[in-house]
Structure 1
Amino acid sequence: MGMSVTISAATDEDAEQILKLQYLCYQREAEIYGDYGIEPLTQTLADLRAELARSTVLVARLGAEVVGSVRGTVDEDGTAGITRLIVHPRMQRHGLGGRLLAAVEGRLTEESRATRYRLLAGHRSEGHLRLYRRCGYAPVSTEQVTRGLNLVTLEKGAELGDLMASA
Structure 2
Amino acid sequence: MGTSVTVSAATDEDAEQILKLQYLCYQTEAALYDDYGIEPLTQTLQALRAELSEGCVVVARLGEEVVGSVRGTVDADGTARIAKLIVHPRLQRHGLGGRLLAAVEERLAAERAARRFRLLTGHRSEGNIRLYRSHGYAPVGTEQLTQRLSMVTLEKEAAAKEFAAQA
- Under a length normalisation based on structure 2, what TM-score does the superposition of the two structures give? 0.95
Answering whether residue 80 of structure 2 is matched by residue 80 of structure 1, we say: yes
Gaps of 5+ in 1: 163-167
Quote the Cα distance in structure 2 between the aligned partners of 1:19 and 1:120.
19
Quote the Cα distance in structure 2 between the aligned partners of 1:111 and 1:2.
33
AA matched with 1:52: L
Answering whether residue 122 of structure 2 is matched by residue 91 of structure 1, we say: no
Quote the Cα distance in structure 2 between the aligned partners of 1:53 and 1:47.
10
Secondary structure of 1:146's aligned partner: coil
Answering whether residue 33 of structure 2 is matched by residue 33 of structure 1, we say: yes
Describe the superposition over 1:100-145 as per-residue Cα deviations: whole angstroms up to 9, x where unpaired.
0000000000001100000001000000000000000000000000
AA matched with 2:133: R
Secondary structure of 2:153's aligned partner: strand
**1:63 corresponds to:** 63
Measured on the aligned residues, the alpha-carbon RMSD in Å equals 1.0
Quote the Cα distance in structure 1 between the aligned partners of 2:140 and 2:86.
23
Structure 1 segments (4+ residues) deviating >6 Å = none
User: 1:98 deviation in Å?
Assistant: 0.2
AA matched with 1:122: G
AA matched with 2:135: C
Contact 1:102/1:161 (8 A) holds in 2: no
> How is 1:11-160 mapped onto 2 (pairs within 5 angstroms)?
11-159=11-159
**2:9 corresponds to:** 9
User: 1:159 deviation in Å?
Assistant: 1.4
- Under a length normalisation based on structure 1, what TM-score does the superposition of the two structures give? 0.95
**1:165 corresponds to:** none
Secondary structure of 1:35's aligned partner: coil
Quote the Cα distance in structure 2 between the aligned partners of 1:158 and 1:3.
32
Quote the Cα distance in structure 2 between the aligned partners of 1:73 and 1:94.
26
User: 1:161 deviation in Å?
Assistant: 8.5
User: 1:160 deviation in Å?
Assistant: 6.9
Quote the Cα distance in structure 1 between the aligned partners of 2:147 and 2:130.
23
Secondary structure of 2:35's aligned partner: coil
Gaps of 5+ in 2: 163-167
Contact 1:136/1:161 (8 A) holds in 2: no
